[in-house]
């Protein structure tokens, strides 16, 4: 590059990047065409005069997002790469990403349905106030506390509702009852019936994904015990959303339990304009994969390790040594 060209490239780069002038402003100021200014800006990056660095508290894996969207026909995938590889760090990173997503997509007049769970709770904690009008936040599944573990459902909904200046509607009852007739009795209550109807009409749903293990929030909350988990595993159940169980193809399983569950059903989630699943960690891969096969969500927020496992079939410790998915033709 000639010295005079380097001077001009540098001057244009300073005016454009440092002083914030538009390409048209720079062109008028230096007596150039806008097309010439555009070429000089490209040259500044190509020659290393300008170095563009992306700084973010989260590293987003856009290539994996594109692959997930194409493979599972998603409206959007968000993949984060936490700095620390442990469950709490992953949940916090997912929560931050989910908060940013909700701040972007929730609009005035929306009805946002929310399930309780530890990962969704992280989203609620990271939400920033957003000016919206006439938003309603409603609970997707019952949440009566059992034992010492708290679902924190009301706290979670309150945080989300506060961020959007929204009306909050809870679903006051246990997620799982002992007998079908008890659920029928609960649904005869006008307040519970109205809340569940509103949840079914929500145009956005946000929920976590549970695997069938002692790690799941419903197990920790006391809704499921070890014998029930064993029966679920033996029946081919791989995951749970809002207390609704499903198999490896995303089809509802164990109808006897479905008939005792106070929550929106899986078919309702499939029909929503935005059905947002927030879930990560390789031990949930089977549950997430079943959900994706059943089209139970159209937006997935997950972590890098889980995304690679979903795309390649490698899970756990083998994942780090697996072949790069981009080289396998995915």
The string of DSSP letters for 17-57 reads IIS---HHHHHHHHT--HHHHHHHHHHHHHTTSS------S
Which of 143, 122, 296 is closest to 205 using CA atoms?
Answer: 296
Q: What tokens were used for 313? A: 């079939």
- pLDDT value at position 51? 87
Q: Nearest 5°: phi and psi at 254?
A: 40, 70
Q: For residues 228 and 176, what is the distance between their CA atoms, to the nearest angstrom?
A: 12
**Helices of type H across 210-265:** 217-221, 226-234, 255-258
Q: Is the dihedral of CA 28, 29, 32, 36 positive or negative?
A: negative
Q: For residues 85 and 262, what is the distance between their CA atoms, to the nearest angstrom?
A: 35
Residue ranges of E strands in 95-203: 111-114, 136-139, 167-169
Q: For residues 60 and 70, what is the distance between their CA atoms, to the nearest angstrom?
A: 17
Q: What is the CATH number of domain 59-327?
A: 3.40.50.1360
Cα→Cα distances 276→49, 75, 110, 300, Å: 42, 10, 14, 6
Q: What tokens were used for 294? A: 């059943």
C-alpha torsion angle, residues 101, 163, 217, 312 (rounded to 10):
10
Residue ranges of E strands in 193-318: 204-208, 210-211, 237-241, 244-247, 274-278, 299-303
Q: Is the dihedral of CA 61, 63, 64, 66 positive or negative?
A: positive
Domain ranges of the chain: 3-46, 59-327
- pLDDT value at position 329? 34
Crossing angle of the two packed helices 304-312 and 285-293, in degrees rounded to 10: 60
Name which CATH class applies to 3-46: mainly alpha
- pLDDT value at position 145? 65
Which residues make beta-bridge pairs with 141?
A: 263
pLDDT tens sequence for the chain (330 residues)? 444 478 889 999 999 998 999 999 999 999 999 999 999 999 998 888 898 776 666 667 888 999 999 999 999 999 998 877 788 999 999 999 999 999 999 999 999 999 998 899 999 999 999 999 999 999 999 986 665 556 788 999 999 999 999 999 999 899 999 999 999 999 999 999 999 999 999 999 999 999 988 777 777 777 777 888 888 888 899 999 999 999 999 999 999 999 999 999 999 999 999 999 999 998 899 999 999 999 999 999 999 999 999 998 644 434 434 334 433 333
Contact assessment for residue 42 and residue 49, using Cβ atoms and an 8 Å cutoff? no
- pLDDT value at position 149? 58
């Amino acid at each position: 590059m000639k010295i005079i060209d380097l001077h001009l490239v540098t001057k244009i780069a300073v005016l454009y990047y440092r002083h914030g002038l538009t390409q048209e402003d720079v062109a008028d100021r230096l007596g150039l065409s806008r097309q010439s200014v555009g070429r000089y800006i490209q040259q500044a990056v190509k020659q290393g005069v300008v170095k563009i660095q992306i700084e973010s508290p989260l590293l987003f894996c856009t290539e994996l997002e594109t692959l997930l969207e194409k493979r599972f026909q998603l409206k959007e995938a968000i993949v984060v790469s936490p700095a620390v590889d442990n469950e709490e760090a992953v949940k916090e990173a997912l929560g931050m990403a989910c908060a940013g997503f909700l701040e972007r997509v929730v609009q005035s007049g929306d009805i946002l349905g929310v399930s309780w769970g530890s990962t969704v709770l992280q989203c609620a904690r990271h939400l920033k106030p957003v000016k919206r009008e006439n938003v309603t936040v409603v609970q997707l599944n019952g949440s009566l506390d059992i034992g010492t573990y708290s679902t924190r459902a009301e706290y979670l909904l309150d945080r989300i509702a506060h961020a959007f200046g929204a009306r909050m509607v809870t679903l006051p009852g246990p997620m799982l009852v002992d007998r079908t007739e008890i659920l029928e009795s609960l649904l005869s209550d006008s307040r519970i019936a109205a809340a569940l109807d509103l949840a079914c009409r929500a145009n956005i749903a946000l929920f976590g994904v549970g695997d069938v293990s002692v790690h799941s929030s419903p197990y920790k909350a006391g809704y499921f015990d070890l014998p029930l988990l064993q029966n679920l595993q033996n029946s081919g159940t791989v995951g749970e959303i809002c207390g609704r169980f499903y198999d490896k193809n995303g089809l509802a399983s164990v109808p006897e339990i479905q008939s005792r569950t106070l929550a929106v059903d899986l078919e309702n989630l499939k029909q929503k304009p935005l059905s947002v699943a927030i879930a990560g960690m390789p031990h949930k891969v089977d549950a997430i994969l079943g959900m994706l096969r059943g089209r139970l969500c159209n937006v997935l927020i997950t972590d890098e390790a889980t995304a690679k496992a979903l795309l390649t079939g490698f899970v756990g410790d083998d994942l780090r040594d697996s072949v790069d998915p981009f080289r396998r033709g995915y």
